[in-house]
Structure 1
Amino acid sequence: MTPSGRRARSGFGMLAASIALVLSACTASAPAAPPESAPPATTDPAAARFALPSEGRIDYQLGGASTPAPGVTIVVRDATERPAPGLASICYLNGFQTQPGELDDWLATAPDAVLRDAAGDPVIDPNWPDEALLDPRTPEARTAIVDRLGPLIDGCAAAGFVAVEFDNLDSYTRAGGALTADDALALATLLVDRAHAAGLAAGQKNALELGARGRDEAGFDFAVLEECDRWAECALATAVYGEQVLNIEYADDLRGSWADVCARGEVPALTVLRDRMLAPPSSPDHVLDHCV
């Protein structure tokens, strides 16, 4: 398994079930978009889409939205949350797997969009036992996936988010050989196109083994990394995306101390130190720090 696979969606592993309701971008029934209705498609050129600034501070708030700390300029939140008032906010969506509690609805409404094993059973992510892998191998399945996720993408735009992060691009590495990088990129291309049509920039989540293919083939605008310093991978992303990279390091698995991480000078400028559970400030487990 690749380093990205080892830390799939922050590496919460079996703890995911205990926080599924917090991290879920969808309800147990059909996925619900944020409150506003979908906006009309935009024809704005790429230059009009959001680009990460060359400086500032980020916060990664998937464990629950909270008032951003002083100095924070960019916030990532779940699609079910509202953007942070007055700040650039990025919307998190699970683009390549079902969300906890969603599988039955996927099987009822888009059964061919769920990856099956030889026995015909859904393939479950070994790192996330309450999520099934989606199946992007055919045009019909990809269309069905985008039809379900499209309203969420449009809802992110309507709510005021400036970009969307599509999680689990690397799920093909956990499919037991049933999926390929080409399959994942074919679906990613459609998701990015839908985001762009809504006026949103689109972020590639991890999957650094793809090299420049995420940018050049799928059209991703920036990268969202987890623990690029821990796995000595930061340069792989900046070689492709330059300054268009944000990164989350986790306090329970640093390569040395946080001071060591900052002193190495290898992390992207938009790097944040967070606790593994991404807990809000009200939690005693909350960690938030920046190098500058």
Structure 2
Amino acid sequence: MPDYQLGSSYTPPAGVTIVERDSTAHPAEDKYSICYVNGFQTQPEDAGLWKSKYPAAILRDSTGNPVSDPGWPDEMLLDTTTAAKRATITKVLTKSIARCADRGFDAVEFDNLDSWTRSHRALTRSGNLALAKSLVRIAHRDGLAAGQKNTPQLGASGRKSTGFDFVVAEECVKYQECDAYTKAYGKHVIDIEYSDNIGRRWSSVCALKSRPAMTILRDRNLVPPTKKAYVFDHC
């Protein structure tokens, strides 16, 4: 059973065997640990670094301004359109991947693989997958399994062509996308549903034959158990 702890690290609930945390955190003790790396957009706290040292790696609009994710406006999209820009991004993220390995994580997942769908056609699927292939190669070199994040439209190509080992999906039950992942990855699918958007009783989610075996319910902001908004449940 997994837990998704990107908002804050805390002692996992009883029965949890897989824990995902941010690359700036440390892995949970005695658990299979997945390291979160924002592979295709900038983390808010790193915006200054990208702007000052790697400005050409940021996707920009026709006026030269950075293009942000409409859902997360404090995250800028990275520019995957050329081999040179992808090489720069890979160079920067290699440090994050190495940190994951050095701290003892078992795997890494690269978020926002589907950024091309939010780029107003400035980015392409092929450019993003080329970057993904480079990041997966680095992860495997460092002894880490590599996880695909969302992007059901890849089907089996994420595993066969890009080299991903597993999937971390968000709300595949809500959006009826789970089959796309389970057909490609079998039991190696983690699904996180969010309590503010589930739209049905949790027991009915767990009763679905189409859901991944590892399906959990979390609060949207992934707060720790000490906060009133904390939600965690599992099937």
What are the residue-to-residue correspondences of 1:173-212 with 2, within 5 Å?
Answer: 173-212=117-156
Query: Does the alignment pair 1:79 with 2:23?
Result: yes
Shift of 1:100: 0.4
SS in 2 for 1:249: strand
1:242 corresponds to: 186
Shift of 1:107: 2.3
Deviations 1:78-133 (A, max 9, x none): 11111000111100010001110322321221222111111111111111111110
1:39 corresponds to: none
Is the Cα contact below 8 Å between 1:115 and 1:134 reproduced in 2?
Answer: yes
AA paired with 1:233? Answer: E
Q: Matched residues, percent identical?
A: 54
Shift of 1:259: 0.6
CA RMSD of aligned residues (A): 1.0
Deviations 1:14-33 (A, max 9, x none): xxxxxxxxxxxxxxxxxxxx
2:173 corresponds to: 229
Structure 1 runs, 4 residues or longer, greater than 3 Å off: none
CA distance in 1, matches of 2:209, 2:218: 18
Find 1:155's aligned residue among 95, 99, 103: 99
1:91 corresponds to: 35
CA distance in 2, matches of 1:85, 1:160: 10
1:138 corresponds to: 82
SS in 2 for 1:280: coil
Query: Does the alignment pair 1:281 with 2:225?
Result: yes
Deviations 1:22-68 (A, max 9, x none): xxxxxxxxxxxxxxxxxxxxxxxxxxxxxxxxxxx110001100001
AA paired with 1:256? Answer: R
Question: Which structure 2 segments of 5+ residues have no match?
Answer: none
Question: Which structure 1 segments of 5+ residues have no match?
Answer: 1-56
SS in 1 for 2:182: helix
Is the Cα contact below 8 Å between 1:211 and 1:240 reproduced in 2?
Answer: yes
Query: Does the alignment pair 1:251 with 2:195?
Result: yes
CA distance in 1, matches of 2:214, 2:56: 39
CA distance in 1, matches of 2:46, 2:30: 32
Shift of 1:241: 0.7
Deviations 1:252-274 (A, max 9, x none): 21141001101123211111111
AA paired with 2:186? Answer: G
